[in-house]
Amino acid sequence: MAEPVVRIPDAKVVLSTASVYPESTATAFEVAARLGYDGVEVMVWTDPVSQDIEALRRLSDYHRMPVHAIHAPCLLITQRVWSTDPWVKLQRAQAAAEKLGASTVVVHPPFRWQRQYARDFVRGIWRMADETDVRFAVENMYPWRYRDREILAYAPDWDVTKDDYRHFTIDLSHTATSRTDTMAMVDRMGDRLGHVHLADGKGSAKDEHLVPGRGDQPCAELLERLARTGFDGHVVIEVNTRRAMSAAEREADLAEALAFTRLHLASASRIS
């Protein structure tokens, strides 16, 4: 019997710039380089640097950290970033991805009150995807909860597998918050799963984004499946480090997340 061989899949392990918040986008590039990540996903938000393609290019070149993905400004706090028109936001995200060499734009489904945008969203995403090599990977969300009430804030649906998209992003903090069977959702996404936001959660009504391994989500199981199936997209560490008491504590969390991810991406690739 031959000794087991470890095959490392082509998937890149990437740091979301959101993972260093409240530190800056520039800090995220520096931390990603120091810890040995394969690149960054830029969360476009209120930090002016995150909105500036030339500034991002300079950071990428200086730290030798490629930008693998752009997260379009879809959050409540970014409603006025890159226009108030959601389609303009996506057009600018696409342009940023093309200029920076990123392969993916991550986008949330619309808020329910964005009625016209929501009505045209599925067709519009297909139309944009047909015009570029950049992937528009639509991300699963979750119902909002307040006490015993559940508010459906996203349209067409927070469960993006109910609609027809070319590519999906699976976010494991969001599956925890929505109390979804994560692996069943991955099965529904099938070969259209193009992007992973790796984080953990315990089913709280709050979107927790814990370091992988600190919640109850099947982070290791998902990574092992990605390894077995030869996943060649990006695995993005998108965790909440706002409670870190120091830069050293924040970096320790991000180093732990990276080590967890690399271990489980390799471990299930063993063959005999």
- Position 147 scores a pLDDT of 76
Q: Which amino acid is at 206?
A: K
Rounded to an integer, what distance in angstroms lies between the CA atom of residue 28 and that of residue 40? Answer: 8
3-state secondary structure of 65: coil
Q: At what angle do helices 247-267 and 219-228 cross, to 10 degrees?
A: 50
Q: What is the mean pLDDT of residues 134-153?
A: 91
Stated pTM of the model? 0.94
Which one, of 222, 217, 226, lies nearest residue 269 by Cα?
226
Rounded to an integer, what distance in angstroms lies between the CA atom of residue 221 and that of residue 184? Answer: 12
Q: What is the mean pLDDT of residues 202-225?
A: 95
What are 50-88's pLDDT values in tens digits? 999 999 999 999 999 999 999 999 998 998 999 999 999
Dihedral (Cα; 27, 93, 222, 224), 10-degree rounding: -70
How many CA atoms are closer than 13 Å to the CA of 93, on its beta-carbon side? Answer: 33
Q: What is the mean pLDDT of residues 193-204?
A: 96
Buried b (16+ CB within 10 A) or exposed e, 51-67: bebeebeebbeebebbb
The continuous run of DSSP H or E covering 176 comes out as: helix 172-178
Q: What is the mean pLDDT of residues 129-148?
A: 93
- Position 271 scores a pLDDT of 47
Pairing relation of β-strands 149-151 and 144-146?
antiparallel
Q: What is the mean pLDDT of residues 5-12?
A: 73
